Chains A and B, each alone.
Chain A
């Protein structure tokens, strides 16, 4: 026994040593590789930020990376002239489009998801499969028909039209997500409430909805980011006075070379809010996960 065991142990130790050495060496390679990858992902955005903070002549004569040797190039001129040029109105249009789209999707989808999860009705499964099928329907399919419809209704070009479009196309995912969450709410909670004779809308509002906060938070941020970052829908349905930032910037793309001093700060302004929100909600997501698992 011992004689058998000993060499095996020695072998194991030896192998352990070898793997450790290999790991150490490999670990170094992995570290370097991952640092390079991270730089690869950071540099383009950093470039945008730096370009947005340099004057036009500097941008035309040298690369943004020269900032590190000549920090004196930094200036906020691009930003102040951008804001002076009326860009801020497109910022407000973005907000006016994004906030209602997000709130409406959450409300409407939560009601539908509740019905799919907790109310018996004939054909429920079939209807839900249709919702799942709609998940992948491309936005393009609706551009022409809805443009025509909006023309008839007289809301073509308005913020309302853009909002409704975003709400409709956000619904399949929203319903899918919330329904899957609602289904996981313990039955006993609902049945207890129903026993007590609480009306269905009150169970929805006081039992299920509050429990679903984590799911609603994540749905909210998805929808927010989607609408905030949308270009195509705005391009078709928003006219110039109602255009969000993405469309306003797109219209400057034609003369990219000469418009860098508008495009770079504009693009950076448009991405800063999603980015902040994204990092802030990161924590919220974790809390939601923990809360979910405790319950």
Chain B
């Protein structure tokens, strides 16, 4: 394990080590974007840590050596400076850490046992309400979704991209594009995705793409509101949302389906309706049109010259309640079935013709908001994962891969049985880093979720801010939430310490 983490380091991968360091790093840095730095960080800290390590026998020896060497050097000169000097060098840092990080932990624990104003001791009741209040339970549920979904996707995408960049010539450009979002503030990323997720397909690019794809695969136009006239003379009636002819089609006579209820302005550019040519023996034909003349006039239920055909409507030939054939009207509103088995047919225009057009997904609504924000998060972080994993990848001994290939292993087997296991330390670092980061996610949720759906999108870090500063005014509850957050990251604190100890030998 250790060796492999070091390996990349020495091998100019350096970055994997960086991975280690940047992992924790972005954490203190906290949810905020600075993490952008981390992807970059890999290279330099790694290089820094790595290359000297490679040059000298090993970093650990030099450290521990320093302890031993004065003694080993034997008698005389004490080369090292006195411990007192260390105090001078450490003082500013330790003062800041004590006052801004350690004291707050102690204060928060104490404060979390008091009520909103801090006047009354309430014991653990703030903590109890975290787990009983339905709004904080939603918050916790959202955090669970985040932790389960986001780190896995980010790590998996990072791995896929890292492996695939080895197969393209423009790998550097690709990497730059992917981790560019990390230099961008999460606020800016949030604004970017608010624009992407706009509901109107004419504004939001996500819905523009989705509706385009949807419209390519679903045939036919849509005429919401179109309906037959409601009187006895009308040749068609509404049945379960569909429009059906009153009488079975007469052989040799075109079917007429006049509709109303569509604004004429929408139809301005449509070609005029035409009477369908009479069908042959086994055929059936007809016209679907807007039976309204601009400015009035015209004959009811007859195709007048100025009337517009309704193109793209799905038409079904139904016999005995079963759909026997389906076709679509041409731009002039005509349709034609041929080769129908003999029988009595009614013509039906199914309901799908009259439903409102597909307008994309409500990304920022209560149901999709968390997946939508996770999407933005992945956009921000996939580059980080990719860069770290690519560094680890470049340190894998090529011989091992080549040997497996020569032995006849497929690319997939090489990937599954060699690449992934060899990368597992780096993957673990990326994964853990992402979990820590996700636990503290704040900015993206705060910015992307519109105020009205923030309760549905809420996460612990955001709830902490809302409760204590964003109008909640309950610092007892806020303190309890921040301690809860701290407790959640403690396992990763221990993970970091263990890994450090192991790496130092």
Contacts and interface: CB of A to CB of B under 8 A. Distances in A.
A231 B96 contact: no
Interface string A229-259: 1111101100000000010011001101000
* Most chain B CB atoms below 10 A, which of A15, A51, A249, A271: A271
Given A41-B379, A172-B28, A286-B43, A133 B497 contact: yes
Contact of A232 (B32, B168, B192): B32
Interface in B20-58: 21, 24-25, 27-38, 40-41, 43-45, 47-56
B101 A138 contact: no
B21 A176 contact: yes
A97 interface: no
A239 B41 CA distance: 32
Contacts of A235: 465, 469
Q: How large is the interface on B (under 10, 10 to 19, 20 to 34, 35 or more residues)?
A: 35 or more
Interface in A124-180: 124, 127, 129, 131-149, 164-165, 167-173, 175-177, 180
Contacts of A264: 191, 195
Interface stretch (A70-78, A81-89, A184-192): A184-192
Contact of B486 (A141, A147, A187, A232): A141
Contacts of B379: 40-41, 44
**Interface residues of A toward B: which range?**
35 or more
Given A34-B174, A41-B177, A256-B450, A143 B468 contact: yes
Given A144-B478, A227-B34, A136 B52 contact: no
A175 to B, nearest CB: 6
A235 B500 CA distance: 34
Select the residue from A40, A117, A148, A229 with max chain B CB neighbours within 10 A. Answer: A229
Contact of A141 (B81, B442, B482): B482
Nearest to A173: B25
Contact of A119 (B85, B173, B187, B442): B85
Contacts of B41: 177, 218, 222
Contact of B104 (A109, A145, A222): A145
A185 B493 CA distance: 28
A99 interface: no
B83 interface: yes
Main secondary structure of the interface of B (DSSP, over half): helix
A157 B37 CA distance: 27
A115 to B, nearest CB: 4
A246 B45 CA distance: 28
B52 A184 contact: yes
B318 interface: no
A169 B192 contact: no
Contacts of A223: 34, 37
A62 B91 CA distance: 59
B167 interface: yes
B503 to A, nearest CB: 10
Given A194-B79, A222-B25, A138 B482 contact: yes
12 contacts: A30-B167, A121-B83, A136-B24, A138-B461, A143-B465, A144-B468, A149-B99, A168-B97, A172-B28, A200-B85, A222-B41, A231-B447
A-B CB proximity, top 3 nearest: A226-B34, A184-B52, A218-B44
